[in-house]
Structure 1
C-alpha cells in the first residue's frame, strides 16, 4: 500500500474506508424509511443549526425583556428557561419552533411520522437543554436527544 493511500484513508475517516471495502450505507434517513430528498427527508445540519440560533436569539430577547430594569447577570440562565418552555410548547403542539418554521423544518415522531406527543417533546427538549446529547449523532444525523425521544427533524 502506498503511503499516500494509507494517509488518505486515515484522513477521510472510517466511513469512507468502509465504503471503499464495499459497505453500503445508503443516504441519510434510508434506515428510517424517509425519502432521500424533498419534503419528509432528513433536515440538513446547517438549517438545524440556523434554526437553533434563531430560537436562541428570540429567547434571549424575551429573557432580556422579562428582566428589563433588573440586574442583567442572569440573562443567559433565563434565556435557557425561556428556550426550554418555548421548545416544549411549540414542538409539543405544532411540531416546530419559530426558527424551525422559518427555515422549513419540523420535528416528527418516527412511529407514524406524525406530531410528537407532549411527553416526548418534554424528554427531547430537556435533553437538548443539557447540550451534550445534542452533540452525539448517529449516521442519520440524529442527535441523542432525537433518538431517545423517538423523533427526527425533517424538511417541511
Structure 2
C-alpha cells in the first residue's frame, strides 16, 4: 500500500475540509457575515453563557429565591432553566448569560424568534443531547428545530 491514502479515505478520516473542499465560514449559507455583529457566535461563548444561566437558575433562583435544599432539588433546576429560557429568549431574544457575553438568539430572518420555536428550542436544550449535535453553521439540533441561530450582538 502506498504511503499516500486514497482520496476517499482522506476525506472520510480527515473530514471534508481535508479533501480541499471550501465550505466557507459558519453562517455563510444563512447569509451571515464571517465576523462582527450578526456573525455566528462561537462555541466557547455559547457554553459560557449556558454555564452562567445554569448557575443563575440553580443558585440564585432555586436555592436563593425558592429556598430549596440542594439535596432535595431533583428536577427543579432544569424546570426553572427551561422556563427562564422560554421567558427571556421569547421576549428579549437572549438570556442573562447571553447578554453578558454579547450574543443572542435570532430567527433566520434576523429578528427575534417567535414563541413556539422558542418553546421547542428550550425543551430540546434541556435534553442536552440535541444541543451537542450541530451542523457546519454551528447550529445545534435545537436551533435547527426552532429555525434559529445564535449570533453576536
TM-score by length of 1: 0.87
2:124 alignment partner, one of 124, 127, 130:
127
TM-score by length of 2: 0.88
* Structure 1: runs of 5 or more not aligned: none
1:75-90 residue pairs with structure 2 within 5 A?
75=73, 77-90=75-88
Kept after mapping to 1: 8 A contact 2:37/2:152 = yes
The corresponding residue for 2:15 is: 14
1:110-121 residue pairs with structure 2 within 5 A?
110=108, 112-121=109-118
Partner SS, residue 104 of structure 2:
strand
Kept after mapping to 1: 8 A contact 2:63/2:69 = no
Distance between the aligned counterparts of 2:37 and 2:25, measured in 1? Answer: 15
Distance between the aligned counterparts of 2:53 and 2:112, measured in 1? Answer: 20
Partner SS, residue 15 of structure 2:
helix
Q: Which runs of 4+ in 1 moved over 6 A?
A: none
The corresponding residue for 1:64 is: 63
Question: 1:3-42: CA deviations, max 9, x gaps?
Answer: 4x54xx58972133232xxx22011110010001100000
